[in-house]
Amino acid sequence: MSIIERPADIARHGALGTSPPRPDGIEKVQGTFEFSSDISADGCLWGATLRSPHPHARIVAIDPAGAWQIDGVHAVITADDVPGQMNYGLISQDQPVFASDVVRYVGEPVAAVAADHPETCRRALAALAVEYEVLDPLLDAEAAIAGDHPPIHPDGNVIRHQRIIHGDPDVTGAVVVEGTYEIGMQDQAFLGLEAALAIPDPGAKGVELHIATQWLHEDRTQIAACLGLPEDAVRLVLGGVGGAFGAREDISLQVHTCLLALRLGRPVRMAYNRAESFIGHVHRHPATIWMRHHATSDGEIVKIESKTVLDGGAYASTSSAVLVNAITLAQGPYRCPNAVVDGWAVRTNHLPCGAMRGFGAVQACFAYESQMDKLAAACGIDPVDIRVLNAMRTGDTLITGQPVLNVAPVEECIRETAALPLPDEPVGGAPMPDGSADVMKLPGGAGRTADAGDIVRGIGWGVSIKNLMYSEAFDDYSTARCRFTDGVVTLKFATAEVGQGFVTLAPQIARTVLGVDDVRLDRIDTQIGSSGSTSASRQTWMSGGAVNAACLAVRSKIFDHVAEENGFDPAALTIDGTDIVDSVSGWRGDVAEACAGATFDETAEYHHAPTTELDENGQGSPHTAFAFVAHRAVVDVDPELGLVKVVQIATAQDVGRALNPLSVIGQIEGGIAQGLGLAVMEEIIQIDGVIRNGNFTDYLLPTFLDMPPVVATLIEQPDPYAPLGAKGVGEPPCISSTPAVVAAIRDALQQAGIDRPLDRVPVRPGDICL
């Protein structure tokens, strides 16, 4: 596999290793970028969804008559109107397009309407009469495991059970620490709400869907099956995506929009508002993780035992894959020779859960990092030292028996993080002219709750491992096409740009490989092979690999062409900046001029090395690659009111190679904000199966006053398995930042003489002070 060298020539602006501006940056900043919610078409109608008010109920009857009486209503559809497969799903197809017999969560779609205006839609939904017979909801994950509740779905209440037995299950350690940890349900909270526009073909023979999604081709497969159409009759075009974080991996309004458009033979658009978005997409799995570490008295890990329970909510989504991450990464970035690990993903009548940035690794990390601090305390070792002592290295084996072949600079991540400067400002910031602290810099911020004397500062650590790409024998690939004509390169791919910056990176690759400046991007749609999902930190590796391969194929055509025209040996040609150079004769010429009049057009697929499934003891090589990161948090705590202010996060991240350093920093800062949110405020609260805070008044996201400065170091050790030497960088920042913040709060409390377990995130003020 080729690693593009890093000679001086690529310092050329816009090539790999530099940070050119995003092609869509100015439009986004100026507010002119077309997000999918902005897309419309002539004669377009609006669609809207009727949803279940009950967590579990039988549908006795649906009477649409009331809706039909409203002027402007064009269609009312229910499960009876689904021409194809009734269910969809990413791994197992267990989720109905519309509930037909039973509803399984509050917010489950029951019917949809199309009308001339969103307000008409609203009235039509209110006029639809659905008679329910309320059923006993299953809201306790443990009850689902125990089998205490009748199945709420034909597939049963357990989505997946998997154990891992590794090494000697009976060995014990001189030091044993254990705990039970809880992780709340986090929302992806992207700002660009779900929206789509479906334009039917004449005669309803096909449909074009403009959609904000993470994976066009997988959407197409599921949509076509439900519409009962061949896949090539369903064409998807990426609408402008305002963030994703996993929440756009599953089907939400795609099938409904297409059904309405095909039914009416008119374009139909649908758009969720914030409240509907909260119930209209999957969330991060709430988890309960019991964990016990055995170690030598010196602190070397001997064995881990754990039991992980993920509440998957009503439908399977990606729960089984999330579970595999949560249990196979339970050892963290540490050597661990023996393990007895058990994991369950169960079905309940809560909101469905699936992908969210970190995908199972987040839940495991809060548990194992809390454990590492307990272990350090039990052994009388510094939290940094215990992590360095156990740090995984290349060639070490996971508890699945899989060797870690990638570069594994865990120790460097920890040491480089420790070397970063601590904040130089005291509690409350530099004193104001009158000597007082700046209240905005104290916990409680604008609420003016504290004075500097009320505050204690703590420091905490988090280190993590994340698998990159898809796992468990999935043949994950990406496709890209490179067309070179008259010195202009046009790239085509189906890679969903969700804000991560592939639209910046892909031209950087082409500029570097082909020595051109002018790189254009074709529309992102299904008129080319799949690029796989923009998730699992995989697109730089996978689609970057595909674009690289397509560009290399074109480059070899260019070399053949130039060699033939000039009588060179193609093997002696190289690209240097924007020139082709013949290393034999010393000839050099501008790439564009040397190829004037010629066109080369190549399409390439990139596949990563195959992985395997887990056997019944959880042994196998399920993962493709791994990345690592360390976080150190400094947090000011008001022990009496339980309020916190994160003062600084320091991090050193294993990035392989920073192809676009500014993008990497963006991922690091954004991921840390999300990790901080989970640590201290972000949680969807459901009471009796009903969401209580599905709005931004009560689902709190960090503001500028909550998000501290981030000091970051990139650990650049190009990975020999990565096509460009670069590892995925999107997920790691949000994984161990959460436990680092919580550890810092514990540390501050200990300094104040208070011992609190803080074994649940988000940490609430009462957890600290009551």
Partner 1 sequence: MLAEHGEATLLAGGTDAMVEINDGHRRPAGPVLAVNRIPDLRSWRHDPASGTVTIGACVTYTELMDPSVAALIPALAEASRTVGSPQIRNAGTLGGNLGTCSPAGDGLPVLAALDATVTLASVRGTRSLPVLDFMVGVKRTAIEPGELITEVTLPVVDGWQGYAKVGVRNAMVIAIASACVVLDRAARTVRVALGSVGPTILRCPEAEADLSERIDWASMAVAAPDLARFATLVSAASRPITDHRSSAEYRRHAVGVLARRLAQRALTVDPAGATR
Q: What residue ranges bind partner 1 (CB under 8 A)?
A: 122, 273, 275, 440, 443-451, 454, 640-643, 645, 680-681, 685, 687, 692-693, 695, 697-698, 700, 702-706, 764-766, 769-770
Rounded Cα–Cα distance for residues 138 and 329 (Å): 29
What lies within 8 Å, CB to CB, of 88 at 6+ separation is 95, 97, 222, 225, 226, 251, 255
**CB neighbours of residue 452 within 10 Å:** 17
Q: How far is the CB of 733 from partner 1 (least distance, A)?
A: 20
Q: How far is the CB of 461 from partner 1 (least distance, A)?
A: 23
Q: How far is the CB of 703 from partner 1 (least distance, A)?
A: 5
Closest CA to 404 of 720, 668, 740, 3: 720
What lies within 8 Å, CB to CB, of 635 at 6+ separation is 457, 458, 459, 460, 644, 645, 646, 647, 741, 744, 745, 748
Q: How far is the CB of 694 from partner 1 (least distance, A)?
A: 10
Whichever of 65 and 275 has its CB closer to partner 1, that residue is 275
Rounded Cα–Cα distance for residues 680 and 257 (Å): 37
Write out the E strands in 31-157. 45-51, 57-63, 73-77, 87-88, 95-96, 102-103, 109-115, 129-134
Q: How far is the CB of 765 from partner 1 (least distance, A)?
A: 6
In eight-state DSSP terms, residue 64 is -
Q: How far is the CB of 763 from partner 1 (least distance, A)?
A: 10
Rounded Cα–Cα distance for residues 674 and 694 (Å): 17
Neighbour-count burial for 135-163, b at 16+ CB within 10 Å, e otherwise? bebbbebeebeeeebeebbeeebebbebb
Q: How far is the CB of 441 from partner 1 (least distance, A)?
A: 9
Q: How far is the CB of 345 from partner 1 (least distance, A)?
A: 26
Whichever of 146 and 685 has its CB closer to partner 1, that residue is 685
Rounded Cα–Cα distance for residues 550 and 409 (Å): 31
Residue 301, both tokens: 């890990």
Question: What is the H or E stretch that residue 492 is in?
Answer: strand 488-493
Three-state DSSP string of 154-216: CCCCEEEEEEEEECCCCCCCCEEEEEEEEECCCCCCCCCCCEEEEEECHHHCCEEEEECCCEH
Rounded Cα–Cα distance for residues 594 and 719 (Å): 34
Q: How far is the CB of 462 from partner 1 (least distance, A)?
A: 21
Whichever of 330 and 635 has its CB closer to partner 1, that residue is 635
Q: How far is the CB of 48 from partner 1 (least distance, A)?
A: 12
Rounded Cα–Cα distance for residues 239 and 38 (Å): 9
Q: How far is the CB of 693 from partner 1 (least distance, A)?
A: 5
User: In 391-497, which residue ranges form alpha helices assigned H by DSSP?
Assistant: 410-419
End-to-end CA distance of the chain: 57
**CB neighbours of residue 132 within 10 Å:** 18
Q: How far is the CB of 447 from partner 1 (least distance, A)?
A: 4
For strands 175-183 and 234-238, give the pairing: unpaired
Q: How far is the CB of 100 from partner 1 (least distance, A)?
A: 27
Rounded Cα–Cα distance for residues 248 and 330 (Å): 26
Closest CA to 461 of 380, 385, 390, 356: 385
Counted residue by residue, the chain has a size of 770
Whichever of 396 and 451 has its CB closer to partner 1, that residue is 451
Tell me which residue has tokens 């006029």.
127
Whichever of 584 and 685 has its CB closer to partner 1, that residue is 685
Whichever of 273 and 585 has its CB closer to partner 1, that residue is 273
Q: How far is the CB of 675 from partner 1 (least distance, A)?
A: 15
For strands 234-238 and 207-211, give the pairing: parallel
Whichever of 326 and 635 has its CB closer to partner 1, that residue is 635
Rounded Cα–Cα distance for residues 557 and 540 (Å): 24
CA distances from 400 to 293, 324, 619 (A): 17, 11, 4
Q: How far is the CB of 122 from partner 1 (least distance, A)?
A: 7
The order of strands in the sheet holding 109-115 is 73-77, 109-115, 45-51, 268-271, 195-200, 207-211, 234-238
Q: How far is the CB of 648 from partner 1 (least distance, A)?
A: 15
Phi, psi of 657 (to 5 degrees): -150, 135
Write out the E strands in 241-397. 268-271, 287-295, 301-311, 338-346
Q: How far is the CB of 620 from partner 1 (least distance, A)?
A: 42
Whichever of 630 and 684 has its CB closer to partner 1, that residue is 684
Whichever of 662 and 754 has its CB closer to partner 1, that residue is 754
Whichever of 125 and 496 has its CB closer to partner 1, that residue is 125
Neighbour-count burial for 59-80, b at 16+ CB within 10 Å, e otherwise? beebebeebeeeeebbbbbbbe
Amino acid at 686: Q
